[in-house]
């Protein structure tokens, strides 16, 4: 099973919080960051705006995500998934372009012109 799904099975979060976490995971980059609009999250999760807001706050209090509010001029909130807490690769495992591939790192994956260590999905 995927490490994120293993973690979700082990932690105590609601089904609504799970859906929000999966929506953020679906949009994250290789470093765990994403910038979805509330409109996008509402459409994907099928939650009400107040419920979505409560879920984001609860996930933050659990240490699963952190977020920074956008502004009223069209800038979306920014979200950072806590990759270590979610059972995913830690940011320090990122391989920078030009750095030699270590046999301990495994296969490299290119995402948006950057190289990342690929974690094994079971």
Task: Answer yes or no: do 65 and 110 share one domain.
Answer: no
Please give the structure tokens belonging to residue 7: 């973690």
Question: What's CA 29's distance to the chain center, in Å?
Answer: 8
Task: Answer yes or no: do 100 and 54 share one domain.
Answer: no
For position 100, what pLDDT does the model report? 43
Q: How many other β-carbons are positioned within 10 Å of the β-carbon of residue 49? A: 11
For position 109, what pLDDT does the model report? 58
From residue 60, alpha-carbon distances to 11, 35, 67, 84, 85 in Å are: 14, 15, 7, 14, 12
Residue 14 has pLDDT above 90, yes or no: yes
For position 115, what pLDDT does the model report? 54
> How many domains, the chain?
2
pLDDT, tens digit (0-9, with 9 covering 90-100), for 47-63: 999 999 999 999 999 99
For position 5, what pLDDT does the model report? 87
For position 97, what pLDDT does the model report? 39
Residue 91 has pLDDT above 60, yes or no: no
Which residue segment(s) compose the domain that 117 sits in?
A: 89-122
């Amino acid at each position: 099973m995927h490490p994120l799904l293993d973690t979700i099975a082990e932690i105590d979060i609601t089904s609504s919080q799970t859906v929000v976490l999966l929506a953020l995971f679906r949009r994250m980059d290789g470093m765990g960051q994403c910038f979805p609009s509330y409109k996008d999250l509402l459409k994907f999760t099928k939650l009400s705006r107040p419920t979505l807001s409560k879920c984001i706050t609860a996930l933050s209090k659990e240490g699963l995500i952190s977020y920074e509010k956008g502004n009223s001029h069209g800038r979306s909130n920014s979200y950072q998934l806590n990759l270590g807490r979610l059972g995913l690769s830690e940011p320090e495992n990122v391989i920078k372009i030009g750095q030699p591939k270590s046999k301990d790192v495994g296969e490299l994956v290119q995402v948006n012109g950057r190289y990342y260590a690929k974690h094994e999905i079971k």
